[in-house]
A and B are shown apart, each in its own frame.
Chain A
Amino acid sequence: MDADPDGPPAGGEAVRSLLVLENVSQRFGGLLALDELSLSLKQGEVVGLIGPNGAGKTTFVNVVTGVLKPTSGVIVFDGHRIDGKRPDRVARRGVARTFQIVQPFPHLRVRENVAAAALFAGGVASQAEASRVADEHLAFCGLERDADKPAGSLSLAGRKRLELAKGLASKPKLLLLDEVNAGLNAAEIDEALRLIAAIAARGITLLLIEHLMKVVVQSCSRVLVLHQGRLIADGPTQEIMRDEDVIEAYLGRRYAEAQRGAGI
């Protein structure tokens, strides 16, 4: 397997779609966290992934980014098989992620954090160049004034933005945002929404794993709904918001909570 880092290019639909999952399952002992999941993301889409706690959202991110090797199924990204590939290889191929629980390198400066992402996943040739690229991304994310602080000293909102800057410095084709808005206040969320729109405008395909309906409705053109490891709905955002099954399984209870959570 390792001798062929790219895997065979897959034909047909995979050429038009950036990410394709076919019958992907992930089993932990007796628990089926992902159950025969099949879906595809098109180049440039902004898609929301919603579902109650334990629906398998974070497992989905871990499987796509190579942290977990799926028990069965095929994942094709940009024409290459990536299921079971190591996370660093998947990252260099163009899949970046932010963590639900932020994961900075606490003793490195903020700039060094972003420069490291540019240097490795971003494929930048030199450290000086990586540092310059990092400053661009920090400015884009509104962190330029914190560039010389240790990353561990940032506030939660700052660390979330640092995650975004690291993700962008990885030069991703696909960016998976795992609850980047959780724990932020209303003003910070508005700021994050603007940032997400700006990232989408660059043509980066985005998948937002979200609890906050406001974010999904404002940002995403399409929504995937996971429930107990299965995809129970997939369609345009407005349609999904009216879907009886989705409301039954998830939104009815969650919607009000999400509104409250957004501070409205």
Chain B
Amino acid sequence: MLRGGLIGAAAVTVFGILLLFGDNYALRLGTTVAMYVTLATAWNIIGGFAGYPSFATAAFFGLGAYTSGIALSNGIPLSVAWAGAGLIVALFAVMLGLCILHLRGHYFAIGSLVAADVLREITNVWVSVTGGGIGLNLPLPGGDAETQAKLFLCVMSGLAGAACCAAWTLTRSRLGVALRCIAQNEDAAQVIGIDTGRSKIAALALSSLFVGIAGAIYASWTIYIDPSDVYDVSLSVKPIIMTLLGGVGTVTGPIVGAFAFLGLEELIWRNSLEFHSGFLGLLVVALVLFLPAGLGQLRVGSIWTRIRTVLPPEARP
């Protein structure tokens, strides 16, 4: 509780400072971190609370971006387009869930991973509506560059706040109890009367709703989207890494993880444009090997112990 309050206060302070004094770069970083918080918190609902290793974040994000983009191109107002995109993505998540949520482990992971590929290919081919591989230009929202940047910071932060509130409410709700039981022992959960199918679909839909709206806002923010960008598999993996960094299955974990991840990403971007996804890969490997329980586990001594256990016996000093 205390930790949550502190993190919330810190986030609001950062938001206020950015809004008052932030330059363009700072505003961009702020909006990005708000988006990351949203994605990681949303993933945590299905991946952390319910324990289902979903790789469908990119699918929900891209579908949200394109739904909203197409709606805006046809003159639909901004707020309607964003909310509508969220709802359509949630509907898609329900259908996807009906197809793959009865699967466990690897099979579920694959099914969720493929969802983004299917949507990307359909977007690529359906040129008349989506613009195909060339991408889609969105109409500019009004106002000068700085007003726009502040608008998107506010909207994305609001969404992140809403996602965190939803996650916090969830931990205290019946559905939250059901998801925790499902994550630990699904068969036993069903035997004590939990409608596991409906609970899992609810979790996936709630998760996808926030991801879809985040995609919609992202599309308006960047003004231009293309399939390889918004359906990129790294969008599915980054929220997982952030959540692992901060701690899986907690409300504050994804928030902390998102900030930490953005910091690392900026560091890598600055120092290596060419090899940044390679560094990201190394970071992921190091994280899984040395910090599987997240940053909370970070102690210098323990890292050395981990390194020693990873080395084959004959190579240990």
Distance, CA A86 to CA B186, complexed state (A): 13
Taking a contact as CB atoms under 8 Å apart, the answer to whether B184 and A91 are in contact is no
Taking a contact as CB atoms under 8 Å apart, the answer to whether A120 and B192 are in contact is yes
**How many residues from B make CB contacts under 8 Å with A?**
19
> Given the complex, which residues of B lie within 8 Å of A91, measured CB to CB?
190-193
Distance, CA A91 to CA B190, complexed state (A): 8
1/0 per position for A85-109, CB-CB distance to B under 8 A?
A: 0111101100011010001111110
Of B178, B184, B192, the contact of A166 (CB 8 Å cutoff):
B192
Q: Does A65 contact B (CB under 8 A)?
A: yes
Q: Does A70 contact B (CB under 8 A)?
A: no
Q: Does B28 contact A (CB under 8 A)?
A: no
Taking a contact as CB atoms under 8 Å apart, the answer to whether A120 and B194 are in contact is yes
1/0 per position for A71-91, CB-CB distance to B under 8 A?
A: 000000000000000111101
1/0 per position for B169-200, CB-CB distance to A under 8 A?
A: 00010100110110011011111111111000
Taking a contact as CB atoms under 8 Å apart, the answer to whether B192 and A117 are in contact is yes
Taking a contact as CB atoms under 8 Å apart, the answer to whether A108 and B180 are in contact is yes
1/0 per position for A103-119, CB-CB distance to B under 8 A?
A: 11111100010011101
B98 to chain A, nearest CB (A): 13
A56 to chain B, nearest CB (A): 19
> Given the complex, which residues of A lie within 8 Å of B196, measured CB to CB?
88
Of A67, A107, A119, A127, the contact of B184 (CB 8 Å cutoff):
A107
> Given the complex, which residues of A lie within 8 Å of B180, measured CB to CB?
105, 107-108
Residue of A nearest to B195 (CB): A88
Taking a contact as CB atoms under 8 Å apart, the answer to whether A105 and B195 are in contact is no
> Given the complex, which residues of A lie within 8 Å of B181, measured CB to CB?
105, 108, 116
B178 to chain A, nearest CB (A): 7
> Given the complex, which residues of B lie within 8 Å of A99, measured CB to CB?
188, 191
Of A104, A106, A117, A127, the contact of B193 (CB 8 Å cutoff):
A117
Taking a contact as CB atoms under 8 Å apart, the answer to whether A121 and B184 are in contact is no
Q: Does A25 contact B (CB under 8 A)?
A: no
Of B174, B177, B187, the contact of A103 (CB 8 Å cutoff):
B187
A36 to chain B, nearest CB (A): 26
Distance, CA A86 to CA B180, complexed state (A): 20
> Given the complex, which residues of B lie within 8 Å of A92, measured CB to CB?
193
Taking a contact as CB atoms under 8 Å apart, the answer to whether B185 and A105 are in contact is yes
Distance, CA A25 to CA B172, complexed state (A): 43
Q: Does A170 contact B (CB under 8 A)?
A: yes
A201 to chain B, nearest CB (A): 23
A128 to chain B, nearest CB (A): 11
Residue of A nearest to B180 (CB): A108
Taking a contact as CB atoms under 8 Å apart, the answer to whether B192 and A170 are in contact is yes
Taking a contact as CB atoms under 8 Å apart, the answer to whether B174 and A127 are in contact is yes
1/0 per position for B10-50, CB-CB distance to A under 8 A?
A: 00000000000000000000000000000000000000000
> Given the complex, which residues of A lie within 8 Å of B195, measured CB to CB?
86, 88-89
Distance, CA A92 to CA B178, complexed state (A): 14
1/0 per position for A55-73, CB-CB distance to B under 8 A?
A: 0000000000101000000
> Given the complex, which residues of A lie within 8 Å of B197, measured CB to CB?
86
Taking a contact as CB atoms under 8 Å apart, the answer to whether B191 and A87 are in contact is yes
Of A67, A97, A104, A115, the contact of B185 (CB 8 Å cutoff):
A104
B104 to chain A, nearest CB (A): 15
Q: Does A229 contact B (CB under 8 A)?
A: no
Residue of B nearest to A123 (CB): B193
Given contacts A88-B195, A112-B177, 20 further A-B contacts (CB under 8 A): A65-B191, A67-B190, A67-B191, A86-B190, A86-B197, A87-B187, A88-B190, A88-B193, A97-B191, A103-B187, A105-B185, A107-B180, A107-B184, A116-B178, A116-B181, A120-B174, A120-B193, A121-B191, A127-B177, A166-B192
- Please provide the 9 A-B residue pairs with the shortest distance between their CB atoms, ordered closest to farther: A121-B193, A120-B193, A103-B188, A91-B193, A117-B192, A105-B184, A87-B190, A92-B193, A120-B194
9 contacts between A and B (CB under 8 A): A88-B196, A91-B193, A96-B191, A97-B191, A105-B184, A106-B185, A112-B177, A121-B191, A122-B193
Which residues of A are in contact with B by a Cβ distance under 8 Å?
A: 65, 67, 86-89, 91-92, 96-97, 99, 103-108, 112, 115-117, 119-122, 127, 166, 170
